[in-house]
Amino acid sequence: MTSTSAQPEAEAAAPASRRKVLQALSGLMVGMFVSILASTVVANALPRIITELQGTQTVYTWIVTAELLAMTATVPLWGKMADLYNKKLLIQLSLGLFVVGSLIAGLTPNVEILIVSRVVQGVGAGGMTALSMVVMAAMIPPRELGRYAGIFGAVFGVGTVAGPLIGGVLVDTSWLGWRWCFLLGVPFTIVAIILLQRTLDLPVVRKEVKVDYLGALLITVGVSTLLIWSSLAGNQFEWGSWWTVGLVSGGVIVLALAVWVESRAAEPIIPLAIFKNRTVALATIASALVGVAMFGGTVFLSQYFQVALGKSPTVAGLMSLPMVFGLLISSTVAGQLITRTGRWKGFLVAGGVVMLGGMGLLGTIDGQTGTVLLGVYMAVLGIGVGMLMQNLVLAAQNDVPAQDLGSTTSVLTFFRSMGGTIGVSALGAVLANRVTTLMTEKLGPMAAAGGGGGGDPHAVPDISKLPAPVVRVIQDVYATATAELFLIGVPLTALALVAVLFIKEKPLATLSGEERLAKERAAAAAGH
């Protein structure tokens, strides 16, 4: 018997037609395209931006880290609000913040304001990243989610393909320039907001509860403190210094307080109970490690192409295509096969193995690595990431109550982003330290003048203004340091594979998140 109080909710959760789902997802896809484009279009522009705004290697890292940090810190809050408030309004708000951040970045007069604008962009991207998967899970059953996740994989691929190419062309076109790398996303974002207004229709479940803002603040402060330490250690101060003791101790204490607050909150930002679920716990560990290895290694590939191999921004964009196509093909094919067969663990394990191989291969690169061989290595890494990343979210969403879908999705996204942010900041500090050390070893006194360029020794060198013998040394230094980053990523990827192996495969549910939620509430009402 179904209680009468649950009838309206059951009716509200009626299955949507495929056409209606695709219409509703159109705005999400444009929004996802914008967020991917914003991160990839900047990659090839960064060396030019740093040169023009007179930034250092540390600033190079922070322009990437600032967005990742803001995105990471705000993802849990966006995910929790998705469980409580209007998902449609929240996702439009996140896109609006993204527009503001993009405009500030495009008009920035210096690197300091650029970093602030990246923080604003990151807050918006955090909402887009967390909420897109939450909305998909609310509308689509896990059994069917693979097919649509494949479509999102294609959008991800197109955005990633288009980003470096567009960025390279903009940077190399004198009457446009790198500022348009930020301004380009603004019209796309506005289109996404309009499309979502017209097509997305989700039932609003209003709960009279208070968001745990104290928990959110403590999580943000604790994570930010550790990330700031990981980005500055080894460069601004020694790893074994009192600064390290203070920042790490402070971050750990604040996070311990956050756990205490979350354990007592009525509506915690990160419900600690979900970690009792084995699938969620293991998927979270794997997501964090994948984030460290993937973001930490690949974000510096564009710098490797331009500094170590001497390529132009446009050519650097073209050189990233093998990894993108590998990711695009594997995520799309895996999504279709998961929907057809209902089996998903094999793709996670295969993805972990292939990604491990890709990281190991990229750990062998140097200044003389051929373009074809480099493309093969990158394609292998892309194939592994494509099979692994999105399906970890699917496995976790399938194994939790519908009322926890938002929190679970945001937790996985949070830890993957946190892993990526730690990877970029910590490995960026390692790269800067290694480059400085190797430059000093090979150039001696000239290294103190920025490789002979007359600038800061920590500055990213402009090889077009340096003599040929010095250029060859600098290219060798950057190639060696970049390869070492991928070697650091190998054991981390291996740990991710171990976590995936222990995830237990469970049949995919055939009800959407809204249908599951209505069923759970009906059962709870009948129990009373």
Contact 478, 309 (CB under 8 A): no
- pLDDT tops 90 at residue 457: no
- pLDDT tops 60 at residue 226: yes
| Burial class of residue 372 in the structure, from the number of CB atoms within 10 Å of its CB (0-12 exposed, 13-18 middle, 19+ buried) | exposed
What global pTM score does this model have? 0.73
How far is residue 127's CA from residue 116's CA, in Å, rounded to a whole number? 18
Summarised one tens digit per residue, pLDDT across range 43-56 is 667 778 887 887 76
- pLDDT > 90 in the chain, percent: 9
Summarised one tens digit per residue, pLDDT across range 328-355 is 788 888 888 888 888 888 899 999 999 9
Angle between helices 18-43 and 111-139 (to 10 degrees): 160
Mean pLDDT calculated for residue range 95-110: 88
How far is residue 428's CA from residue 295's CA, in Å, rounded to a whole number? 11
Contact 108, 63 (CB under 8 A): no
Summarised one tens digit per residue, pLDDT across range 166-194 is 877 888 777 788 888 888 888 888 888 88
- pLDDT > 70 in the chain, percent: 82
CA 126-393-425 angle, 5° bins? 45
The CA–CA distances, whole Å, from 481 to 15, 297, 365, 367 equal 53, 11, 10, 11
- CATH superfamily, domain 15-203+211-229+243-252+278-523, is MFS general substrate transporter like domains (1.20.1250.20)
Amino acid letter, residue 393: V
Which of 137-146, 304-313, 484-493 is predicted with the least confidence, judged by mean pLDDT? Answer: 137-146
How far is residue 217's CA from residue 493's CA, in Å, rounded to a whole number? 31
- pLDDT tops 70 at residue 206: no
